[in-house]
């Protein structure tokens, strides 16, 4: 990230939105052609769950592709000219580090609990939207522990503060997870239809078709609650409830054969097909959705 910030200052600006529990910088790349005109923005985060390594790989891939194809690809040029992208390659930076050094299957943050020896909170159950209800646990030793209170995790609080501050111009929120091969949209915490369902649903349908066109990989799409499972306190629902009209969560490859241990040779095909889906969603929002 530092390297890209230094070598592509025309399209990239890196900044920190805070510090993790263990004191690491929470870095975000702002990507897009600078212009004085008002520009809408898209937020993309990866690695909210530590063990889902293909997430951070995709965020890096997205930035690389934007920089490499900005001049040659008209779609990418349009995206960079008309929008800003806020990209957070590693949301749960402490957990991610721990998954490389200690426990490959670590999921949560690394915060300490005063009463239990178990560490960490599920950063995707820690948001203030139906917090700690169905699909979240109140026990600190569980993988889906919702935390002592909403936004207890400094990483979640930092992102929530940033999104609150910029919600007027952030029109889309995309979060990258693994694994299941799904493209999900709200609601996650209840079985109900979102008000702008038709637009969001058609964007998802087109994105999934674009993704499949590359290697034939099939994704299911739909509301998270009925497509995956009910879960409360998720970032996607929170972003939607806080005025960002287009919020999606990707569950990338695969469907369980490798699971979290997706081999390196599948990084490139996974990212290539996912890139098409993201471009598709972005262009759909630019063109069609009010």
In tens, the pLDDT along 10-59 reads: 999 999 999 999 999 999 999 999 987 789 999 999 999 999 999 999 99
pLDDT at 38: 86
| Contact indicator for 244, 162 with CB cutoff of 8 Å | no
| Contact indicator for 99, 89 with CB cutoff of 8 Å | no
Q: How far apart are CA 47 and CA 56, in angstroms?
A: 5
| Contact indicator for 14, 86 with CB cutoff of 8 Å | no
Radius of gyration of the chain (CA): 18
Taking alpha carbons only, the member of 181, 146, 166, 151 closest to residue 258 is 181
Residue 289 has pLDDT above 80, yes or no: no
Phi, psi of 161 (to 5 degrees): -65, -45
Q: What digits encode the pLDDT tens for the residues 141-169?
A: 999 999 999 999 999 999 999 999 999 99
pLDDT at 290: 60
Q: Which domains does the chain have, with CATH numbers?
A: 1-286 (3.40.630.10)
Q: What is the mean pLDDT of residues 129-135?
A: 97
% of the chain with per-residue pLDDT over 90: 94
pLDDT at 114: 82
Q: What digits encode the pLDDT tens for the residues 250-259?
A: 999 999 999 9
157: tokens are 């609080």
38: tokens are 């008002």
Q: Point out which residues pair with 170 in neighbouring strands.
A: 41
* Paired sense of beta strands 83-88 and 40-46, if any: parallel
| Per-position b or e across 178-200, b if 16+ CB within 10 A of its CB | bbbbbbbbbbbbeeeebebeebb
Q: Taking the model in full, what pTM does it have? A: 0.97
Residue 192 has pLDDT above 80, yes or no: yes
Strand order in the sheet with 182-185: 12-19, 25-31, 83-88, 40-46, 170-178, 246-252, 182-185, 220-223
92: tokens are 């749960």
**Residues with active-site annotation:** 251
Taking alpha carbons only, the member of 117, 116, 3, 110 closest to residue 64 is 3
Residue 79 has pLDDT above 80, yes or no: yes
């Amino acid at each position: 990230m530092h390297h890209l910030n230094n070598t592509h200052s025309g399209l990239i600006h890196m900044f920190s939105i805070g510090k993790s529990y263990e004191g690491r910088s929470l870095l975000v790349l702002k990507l897009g052609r600078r212009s004085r005109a008002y520009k809408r923005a898209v937020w993309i985060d990866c690695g909210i769950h530590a063990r889902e390594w293909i997430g951070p790989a995709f965020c890096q891939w997205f930035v690389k592709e934007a920089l490499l194809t900005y001049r040659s690809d008209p779609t990418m040029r349009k995206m960079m000219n008309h929008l800003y992208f806020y990209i957070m390659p590693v949301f749960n930076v402490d957990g991610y580090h721990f998954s490389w050094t200690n426990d490959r299957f670590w999921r949560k943050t690394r915060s300490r609990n005063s009463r239990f020896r178990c560490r960490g909170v599920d950063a995707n159950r820690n948001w203030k939207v139906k917090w700690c209800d169905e699909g979240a646990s109140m026990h600190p030793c569980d993988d889906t522990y919702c935390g002592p209170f909403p936004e207890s995790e400094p990483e979640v609080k930092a992102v929530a503060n940033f999104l609150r501050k910029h919600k007027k111009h952030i029109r889309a929120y995309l979060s990258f997870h693994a694994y299941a091969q799904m493209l999900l949209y709200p609601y996650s915490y209840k079985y109900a239809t979102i008000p702008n369902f038709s637009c969001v649903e058609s964007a998802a349908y087109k994105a999934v078709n674009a993704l499949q066109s590359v290697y034939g990989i099939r994704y299911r799409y739909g509301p998270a609650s009925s497509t995956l499972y009910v879960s409360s306190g998720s970032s996607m629902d929170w972003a939607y409830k806080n005025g960002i009209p287009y919020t999606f969560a990707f569950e990338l490859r695969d469907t369980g054969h490798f699971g979290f241990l997706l081999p390196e040779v599948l990084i490139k095909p996974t990212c290539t097909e996912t890139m098409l889906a993201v471009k598709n969603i972005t262009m759909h929002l630019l063109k069609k959705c009010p």
